[in-house]
Amino acid sequence: MVGDTRRGNKLLGFLEERFALSTLLHLAEKKKVPIHRHSVWYYMGGIAAIYLAVQVVTGILLMVYYVPEIQSAHASILKINSQIDFGWFIRSLHSWGANLMIAVVVLHLFSTYFMKAYRRPREFTWLSGLLLLVLCMAFGFTGYLLPWDDVSFFATKIGLDVAAKTPVLGGVIADLLRGGEAISQATISRFFVIHVAVLPICLLGLLGGHLLFVQMHGMSEPDAFKNLPAPKKTYEKFFPNFFFKDILVWILALNVLFVLVMLAPWGIGPEADPFGAAPIGIKPEWYFLSMFQFLKLVPPMIGPIEGELFGILLMGIAALAFAVLPLLDQGQSKSISKLATAYGVIIAIAAIALSVWGALS
């Protein structure tokens, strides 16, 4: 093995002395992956990671030609799409990749939720994962404005106006993000900086923690597997067995992305006109659709409270419960465990139903 330098492999010896490779390899070999009928969900985090890698690479490439300036932003995307060699390809990878990544992160979220992988000692893996999803959505929201086409303009306008209705700090935060009363150059600059600098730093830090927790605690085992008698539990080694399967899954995931990019390259709408009417049929990205549809259903006034504020508060409470219930469900009581599962099912069904409704209406 790597640590065995007796056969005189000088290079390996050199590396071993400096990077303690055998320790790392030992760790990788010690890590084992439980084999059961829900094992397939163990791949979700890895798929999210490979899509993230695509976002980083394509994002850096897009920055070479994108101009975060109100007169040039739309034109620079048009140029990327039509004049730069492979520009359409890079941009489509970025846009499709962002959507696939969020889809996979959501699957990852619900699979860990229903497998109850959040139980002691993995509470912080759960919470950091939730924050990572919030970051992904923030990436989506800020990135959506940058091409400066008509839908992106109004999506940002509505998003910030909804945020402004949040009690206490909502107004201040919306103003800081918008950089003035109207969506303008200031907004583009701020969103650009957040999208390419602030969020990536936060994401890297948080993801580092998230992965570190996963390594520290090993793979989570669902109750049904954990309660099996020892001889009946089967595992496979993370390295090389699971690792090579991971690579295979990555190739499949990348192929899905490439097929989508080839069949449906990402387009761009007409340039935003801050004084024109909102385009008919305007809708947010699919991952905001359920919230959009929910807010649409809330009447303008509920008693003395403005409907929007009421809707935001209600969704805030629902989200908070989703984050906190796992901390209470530690496997000590069957009823809490069932409650957590039932709540997850309700949230999942509500989100899917509202999204479909929003997409069709």
Partner 1 sequence: MEDNSATKIEEEDKSSQKPEASESHAEADSHWDLDILGEGQVGRGTLMRTAMGGIALLWGGMTLYPIYSYLKPKASDKDEQTKVTSLEVCKVDELPKGSGRNFRFGSTPALVIHTPDGEIHAFKAICTHLGCTVQYRNDKDAIWCACHGGQYDSHSGKNVAGPPPKPLAPLKAEVVNGKIVVSQA
Interacting residue ranges for partner 1, rule: CB under 8 A: 154, 157-158, 161-162, 175-176, 178-182, 186, 190, 274-282, 295-296, 298-301, 306-308
Tell the smallest beta-carbon distance from residue 281 to partner 1 (Å).
7
Tell the smallest beta-carbon distance from residue 29 to partner 1 (Å).
35
For partner 1, give the closer residue by CB, 65 or 286. 286
Listed as own residue / partner, the contacts of 236-242 with beta carbons closer than 8 Å and 24 or more positions apart are 236/32, 236/33, 236/35, 237/29, 237/31, 237/32, 237/33, 238/28, 238/29, 238/31, 238/32, 238/33, 239/25, 239/28, 239/29, 239/31, 241/33, 242/33, 242/42
For partner 1, give the closer residue by CB, 315 or 336. 315
Chain centroid offset of residue 253 CA: 15
Tell the smallest beta-carbon distance from residue 296 to partner 1 (Å).
5
| Closest to 28 in 3D by CA, of 240, 309, 306 | 240
Q: Burial level of 182, CB count in 10 A (0-12/13-18/19+)?
A: exposed
For partner 1, give the closer residue by CB, 17 or 306. 306
For partner 1, give the closer residue by CB, 167 or 180. 180
What Cα–Cα distance (Å) separates residue 66 from each residue in 81, 211, 273, 325?
A: 11, 32, 19, 43
Tell the smallest beta-carbon distance from residue 297 to partner 1 (Å).
9
Tell the smallest beta-carbon distance from residue 201 to partner 1 (Å).
15
For partner 1, give the closer residue by CB, 11 or 280. 280
For partner 1, give the closer residue by CB, 254 or 295. 295
Tell the smallest beta-carbon distance from residue 172 to partner 1 (Å).
9
